[in-house]
Chain A
Amino acid sequence: MLTRRHFLAASAALAGNLFAVPKDSGSPSPDLEKLGDVALREAKKHNATYCDIRIVRLRDQRIGLRLSPERGTGKTLAVPNVSEDSSFGFGVRVIVNGAWGFAASPIVTPAEIARITGEAVTIAKANATIQPKPVILAPVKAYRVRWETPHEQDPFAVPVAEKIDQLRSAAESIKKNARVFSGSAALSLHSEDKYFASSEGSSIQQLILQIYGNLNATAVDREKGISRSRSYQPTQASAGWEYVPEMNLGENAERIREEVVEHLSAPPVRAGKKDLVLLPSHLCLTIHESVAHPTELDRALGYEANYAGTSYITMDKIGTRIASEHCTFIGDRTSRRALGTAGYDDDGVKTTQFTIIDQGIFRNYQTTREQAHLVGDKESHGCCQADSWATVPFQRMPNVWLKAGPAATPLEDLISGIDDGVLIDGTGNYSIDQQRYNFQFGGDAFWEIKGGKKGNMISRAAYQGRTPDFWQACDGTAGPAYWLQFGLTGDAKGEPTQINSISHGCSPSRFRQINVMLTD
């Protein structure tokens, strides 16, 4: 049996116990502070005008179980996957002669920190030779603090056997219908122990915990040569183990077991202009791609032109209408249980909440310290993040959420106002152009809406649109009772690509006359 004591012992060996501090301590570990000082002193010696160091331990535990028939016998095989990864190292960022330099290493010793700081300085000096303008950082307060994801029970301390039992129960429930070919259930845990120290006086230790779950059912019709799936994606959360019962895996396993069979024989959608009602499990991704990404300032200014792209929301759009009056979007790295929530960003800025779009009017970009002055702001919105100790921090999106509609608006009201439409749950295929204009989104499940009522499941649907037109076509969003946030864990940006995890909250929302397509 894996116990908390075992875990602590292993962690201590794996990370040199650097991150251990008394639970009620508000200050970072003195050992971390000593290591941080090495980089700051070394950078100063090399005339760096700025330096920060992040010492990070990342830990992931993945547990999965897939039930599928054995070839020949048809007997159900349960194929498990139990793994754990740990990654530990540090990265140093400096500004010398007005240019950035960065270097990183997995060997966390004072000598290596000094050496790598020197490497970062060398890179900065080389970059400065063709740097047209010096980097300018917005002011930031100095903090000496410790912060952690609010949680009651450390998810890594829960016995793996208990996790497997929960997954087996869900997967077996999915497989109970003989027409289900395979059923799978998975849980992943992620933790990030992070220490940040900067030449501006900050010393910040954080612990971020995240939990993801997933159920999937697949059905195959060999005669027709088709396979269909149905998933349940519980809200991925920044939380402790106490959150897991809220995922309600058991009940949802039963639901997708029946819905995947229905999906296999569901008639194809009839293509054309239709009204859509998008549930939060689906709309989260549309918000992510068409609102959160185009309001990143680095994209708007061309810094991501070679890969992620630029943005249709250019600087001249500040103060103009880009969505209907039903649309107020908030950038927020403080939301409860959201994946993008932290105490401080990787610039050492205390996280905050800010309005991005106010009743359809574009107000603010997401910014870092380096970018704030480019839009005339005096301080950063706290959106600087790296996905590892080995990668360069840069502007990443916060949690971006859509404000709920009036309290008196139930989901049924949105549906009852539709003559010919589609209700969409869950995420499917998705694609959007490099300025975030033209998009296409599929879904995990679709239901016809006819004469103001939700009808039977349909299949093979996707919708295409042009972002500003789409958000102008939003004519209603349900009330706060329906508001849910969903996490996305694979947000890619930057070169070499970095991955970000964030959440997007909303209530079910209605969009008029959207182009619905029939796919394969």
Chain B
Amino acid sequence: MMTREEAQTLARKVIGFSTFPECQVTITASEQAYTRFANNGITTASFNLRHNLSIALTRDGHTGDMAVSDLDDDSLRAAVRKAEELAAIAPPNPQALPPLGPQNFPATHDFDERTAAARAPEMIPHVKTVIDAALERKLVAAGLIERTHRVTAIANKSGLFGFHNASDSQMTTTVRAPDGSSSGWAGQPSMRLSDIDSPKLASTAIEKCARWKNPQRLDAGNYTVVLEPTAAGDLVRLMAGSFSARSTDEGRTFLSKRGGGTLLGEKLFPDFVTLRTDPFDPRQPSSPWTGDLLPTSAITWIDKGTVANLAYDRYWAMKTGKQPTPGGGGGGFGFGFGFGGGGSLLMEGGNATLDELIASVERGLLITHFWYIRTVNPQTLQQTGLTRDGVFLIENGKITTPAMNFRFLESPVRLLKNTKSLGPAMRVRGLEGGMMIAPALVATDFPLPSISDAV
């Protein structure tokens, strides 16, 4: 994998090829190893290397962008020439800002050497653990175990240079009944592959599958719900993009005030709702810089229910007389959290265990996680999607009946307004990839307008 020195040398060389006054280079190199399994056998496995170098050249506000994977001198010279040609043709960008000089990027401690080097011998035993456990119960397992090692370097002609070395891993499994009558899921993202607990993942998915056998058709409607941490994270992470100060000022987010202005400083949620980004949290990888290449720092977006910050990128900060927001990992919280997407988002948890949350509900549903979540209204953040791999009716504080899947139609904004209590927060990764640290939660009036026959 590319070292800091190699990346710096390569970036300097490319910058030296350009005659333009402004030149920004971004280098990424990654190594990924994974094994997929299904029907109690391995289906595919891969070891792949990738690298990419992108060049943004600017003169008099005209910018050309070019990205290549050929890193020999001739190819890089050709790419610089091409970027210069594109810049010459591109209209000037009225929002262009002068490049930043050297920055002091913080260390984010996102790298584990053993995870970054792991190959099949470290991963296949986990796969075997899950498959053997499923076979023992005459069930059928599918899943994925993967690890990634990714290096990112940024540099510009004004002397800015940053280097980030990150690794990550995850294992997920879905265990199904052979006749398709039940399904259970478990997943664990982890900064360290050595922390992946495959026996626990197997037992969780198997137990869900065993308990969800022959789910019953309940009435569609509004329910009190207990969302497991993955389900809560599936929805809460979707709030991130709405903290963009520009979108909010322009009237396009739930934080926009009717008639103009924003809801900054207003209390929208219960006291126990605190939403932060923290690039230094050791549970999940992040990025040392924002999308604007400013050093990241921890930011609180919702503080004890009150809107505490909006994300100003450099341009919007300049237009509005504010300081750019050094957090969120992207130029405007939510427009790219760096490594893995959503990697530094965190919702504070509470003290209740999942069992205690269930015990607090007179009648409601326990939901494992969601699937195929799509935005219906980007302004209110209304989403639709479906429950999956384990839904259970709770009656008088106890799980009584497996329930058929539902479609939901709800905004995470309303969800958090209706939240009554929280469990401890943990790192989660949704089926469609979004990550954050999220707690289990209990919320009332969660709309589930139709039933799904899917198992």
Q: A residues engaging B (CB < 8 A)? A: 1-2, 6, 9-10, 13-16, 65, 70-72, 77-89, 91, 99-107, 119-120, 122-123, 126-127, 129-133, 159-161, 164, 168, 181, 220, 222-227, 301-307, 309-310, 312, 314, 390-392, 394, 429-438, 440, 442, 460, 462, 464, 466, 495-497, 515, 517, 519-520
Contacts and interface: CB of A to CB of B under 8 A. Distances in A.
14 contacts: A77-B95, A83-B64, A83-B67, A103-B48, A105-B49, A164-B89, A225-B259, A302-B176, A307-B172, A307-B431, A391-B48, A431-B373, A438-B407, A497-B433
B41 to A, nearest CB: 4
Contacts of A129: 124
A18 B110 CA distance: 39
Contact of A222 (B79, B81, B260): B260
Contacts of A466: 453
Contacts of B82: 6, 10, 84
Interface of B: 32, 34-36, 38-52, 54, 63-70, 74-75, 77-79, 81-82, 85-87, 89-95, 120-121, 124, 127-128, 131, 140, 142-144, 146, 172-174, 176, 180, 183, 185, 249-252, 256-260, 319-320, 371-377, 379-380, 382, 384-386, 388, 405, 407, 409, 411, 431, 433, 449-455
A8 to B, nearest CB: 11
A438 B78 contact: no
Given A15-B70, A390-B48, A438-B407, A160 B42 contact: no
A126 B372 CA distance: 34
B44 A394 contact: yes
A159 B67 CA distance: 19
A495 B36 CA distance: 7
The 7 A-B pairs of least Cβ separation, nearest first, read: A83-B65, A438-B452, A13-B78, A435-B454, A225-B258, A520-B377, A433-B454
Given A14-B70, A440-B384, A435 B453 contact: yes
Contacts of B450: 438, 464, 515
A435 B372 CA distance: 11
Contacts of B67: 83-87
A161 B89 contact: yes
A106 B69 contact: yes
B41 A133 contact: yes
B376 to A, nearest CB: 5
Given A314-B180, A391-B46, 4 more contacts: A100-B42, A436-B454, A438-B407, A460-B377
A222 B259 contact: yes
Nearest to B450: A464
Contact of B142 (A181, A302, A438, A515): A302
Nearest to B29: A106
A10 B67 CA distance: 13
B124 A126 contact: yes
A306 B41 contact: no
Contacts of B454: 309, 312, 433-438
Contacts of A103: 46-48
A255 to B, nearest CB: 23
Contact of A127 (B35, B388, B451): B35
B350 to A, nearest CB: 29
A127 to B, nearest CB: 4
A262 B178 CA distance: 53
Contacts of B375: 429
Nearest to B30: A390
A495 B144 contact: yes
A86 B53 CA distance: 10
A223 to B, nearest CB: 6
A133 B386 CA distance: 34
A306 B172 contact: yes
Contacts of B128: 130
A380 B143 CA distance: 26
Nearest to A390: B48
A13 B70 CA distance: 9
B124 A223 contact: no
A306 B174 contact: yes
Given A122-B120, A520-B411, A71 B249 contact: yes
A72 B319 contact: yes
Given A10-B81, A103-B48, A434-B388, A84 B140 contact: no
Given A82-B65, A431-B374, A390 B50 contact: yes
Contact of A83 (B44, B66, B78): B66
Given A91-B48, A429-B374, A306 B95 contact: no
B39 A14 contact: no
A181 B252 CA distance: 11
Contact of A82 (B90, B146, B259, B371): B90
B382 A303 contact: no
A84 B82 CA distance: 9
B52 A87 contact: yes
B50 A2 contact: no
